[in-house]
Structure 1
């Protein structure tokens, strides 16, 4: 019986972090290895470990991640509420799906500094350096600042601190200046569709900038991998 169980476990399909990203990224574009590790640190998902210490995710764990990410993206629920919902599921109960409320809508929600740090795991020092750089304004903080904090937590794993990102911030500000220069004449017309048209053009330009940046960086990475 024990050998049969062992063989069954061996034949389960297990996924690496990279494979999990391939499965989930089409639906959750901002998903990153650091965000997966953060969700694990928060006890929301528990991947298995190989003898070498690498994380391996089963298909039920991937579906669990999909639930977590969907509740964050569509319901804008804080991790505490998501954890309570998952605890109910784990206990065999059938809880009602948490509903978004005005106080928990992430897109429109504003966070105190302590909430932002708790939600993302950002250290006090990283927050201070990010604020000095202009990545964080005065509280309350927006949902965009929460996503910036998630990215900073991921960069910390590689020894990259917010103070190292001064050039990145300057480049982003130059891109914003170009976008503003293109869209200001459209907004000045004050036509009924001016704001929508300017927003569409802004996103189009930003995507082109992102594509160029991505290819420039990918070219260097490919050289590193040779």
Structure 2
């Protein structure tokens, strides 16, 4: 870990990702949810032709605007990305036993849905991966403020690299504007953090950026992808 941290220290995000891709050939992957942070990273990867696998998770409950952005991104960069879906049988069983909106009833139910639709497909996508690139930023939530740019994920036995961990919201917006990067139009309607449609709402001025995710809950708002 120390050697890797020392190797990428002082490098900008594209250079660090290029170093990781060279150090772990064929085993570096970037997971995108097509949020603003992820669009910045995808632009860096494709603009600089960094050999990194790009994939996304389709939970089956995404906003139409997210699908529209997928098409726009594909057309803009002329690049393919892998799409992972939840296991059909698991979704069928969940809906049969608890209905389509069980996640509103309890935190346990919500985490069960997230596990089926997100965590299990993610773990499948990360098989054989040695470095997982994510769009986490320290400003996003309290539990992300202690993260470093490079971390060891003990549960998955891989490195996690967060190239934007110390970026501000304003830096991210400036990159999108300067480089004319396509983004989800819901961001212009008060949606800062965008997930599944039934679990995401726009936030009010002054609200925390994550307040729109699972807004009916008071507990720690994570889905299990990052803890």
What TM bracket, shorter-length normalisation? under 0.3
Structure in which a larger fraction of residues adopt helix: 1
Task: With the length of structure 1 as denominator, give the TM-score of the two structures.
Answer: 0.26
RCO comparison, higher one (Cα < 8 Å, 6+):
2
Larger strand proportion of the pair: 2
TM-score, scaled to structure 2: 0.26
